[in-house]
Amino acid sequence: MPFRRDDLNLYQNLEAPSYFWRGASYQTILAVATLSRLFLYTLNKTEVHGLPRFLDLLKSRVDYRTRRRGLLTVSNHISVLDEPLIWGVLPISFAAFHGYMNHRWSLGSHDICFKNAFTSHFFTLGQVLPIHRGAHSPFGGPYQATMTEAVRLLSKISAKSQSLCPLSNPRFHKDWQPPQWPWDCVDPFSDVSPPPSYPSQPSDARWYLAPSRYASNSYSWVHIFPEGMIHQATDNTMRYFKWGVARLILEPPECPDVVPMFIEGTDQVMHESRSFPRFVPRIGKRISLTIGRQLDVEAVFGDLRKRWRDLADRHAREAGLPRWDEMILGLVPENLANHPEAVELRMECAKRVRDAVLEVRRSRGWPDEDPKNGVVETWAREGPKREGLMDDGTWVKDA
């Protein structure tokens, strides 16, 4: 069934959160960035490759009113500290003057980062969105509410238009009540009531700030770890990339800029084999972040995006609409979500993203991987075991 506007609530978009919320978020991000930088450069030996051109890219995106496309950064995932530790490589002065309303959005595990009121507020202010992991929640998968937010963040947002927010509709909730701060992670000084918010799933106990309803978040920067799991291997190989990342490339009306990255050394800071005290990061390690060149997205993904748009428009015509309606951006009907051609497009897109990260890995002198590492069937042989020491000698953590 296609989505119909009269079935779903329309909610007003705003220009920006209140000064209170913007200030609290800015201070939270700056404090974490400072601690991360101190850890990287005073307690460890850290090197960064490709930083100047990345800073130039971020600097060009400072004013949200002049951005013309989103920014998607992708990397391997080798430690629970990868996020936010790697952003400590950005100079504090740069983060302070060019990072205001120009910092990355990321996805954090709902059952880890958002399990109580304090951590929920901390991570929400730190521009982390609650994501459900399929192994730990029946609400996981690439079509959950937070993925809708991520698709919209990489798109243009207008304060003059309205947004469809199906999970904010009272009929989706048995005991619906409007979001209330401080229980809910919402802007307490919002210009509209209820404040822009969404639940990560219909029965969520807490509501979270909906960043995709603020024009100041137009064409945002989103960082994602497409492996979806921590993978620690002595030869720095990667698992296959889950194709949720493809939604962030195929579905926004304008393809976001894509910058691949490769992380080394943070696995030694928090290795999964570490003994007591496990919660203490190890120091004196060599850490490296290599930032690849911005991809030519038209050359790499243009054909896939055209096929996706043709498929979406064809589906819309079959549903009696002239074309795919941008009003439902990020909301994918079930029959289109599971369409064989759509699945094929997402798998191919995820493979091309992984190839881009592999190219950065190759630039660090690592030999080519076995091509089998990039397909899900290879990792399915691990069986039901999801964490710990695997048969191939690698360490895995579902995080």
Residue 340 lies in a domain: no
Q: Which residues of the chain have pLDDT under 50?
A: 1-3, 5
- By C-alpha distance, which of 338, 344, 258 is closest to 304? 344
Q: How far is it, in rounded angstroms, from Cα 295 to Cα 319?
A: 35
- Check residue 381 and give its pLDDT: 63
- Check residue 327 and give its pLDDT: 73
- Check residue 106 and give its pLDDT: 97
C-beta neighbour count of 55 within 10 angstroms: 16
- Check residue 377 and give its pLDDT: 80
pTM of the full structure: 0.95
Residue 309 lies in a domain: no
- Check residue 136 and give its pLDDT: 81
Residue 27 lies in a domain: yes
Alpha carbons within 13 angstroms on the beta-carbon side of residue 183 total 8
Residue 389 lies in a domain: no
- Check residue 397 and give its pLDDT: 86
Sign of CA dihedral 307, 311, 246, 100: positive
Digit-coded pLDDT (tens) for 173-183: 888 888 999 99
Q: Which amino acid is at 283?
A: I
| CATH at residue 26 | 3.40.1130
Residue 334 lies in a domain: no
Q: How many domains does the chain have?
A: 1
Sign of CA dihedral 187, 159, 214, 152: positive
Q: How far is it, in rounded angstroms, from Cα 288 to Cα 270?
A: 15
Q: At 261, list the tokens.
A: 């990255």
Residues 6+ apart with CB under 8 A from 288: 46, 47, 48, 49, 263, 264, 265, 364
The C-alpha torsion from 219 through 222 and 228 to 234, rounded to 10°, is: 130
- Check residue 2 and give its pLDDT: 45
Q: In the 8-state DSSP scheme, what is residue 367?
A: P
Residue 329 lies in a domain: no
**Do the strands 221-224 and 71-75 form a parallel or antiparallel pair, or are they unpaired?**
parallel
- Check residue 56 and give its pLDDT: 98
Q: How far is it, in rounded angstroms, from Cα 344 to Cα 137?
A: 25
Residue 121 lies in a domain: yes
Q: How far is it, in rounded angstroms, from Cα 328 to Cα 148?
A: 10
Residue 374 lies in a domain: no
Q: How far is it, in rounded angstroms, from Cα 261 to Cα 291?
A: 5
Domain of 27, in residue numbers: 5-270+283-298
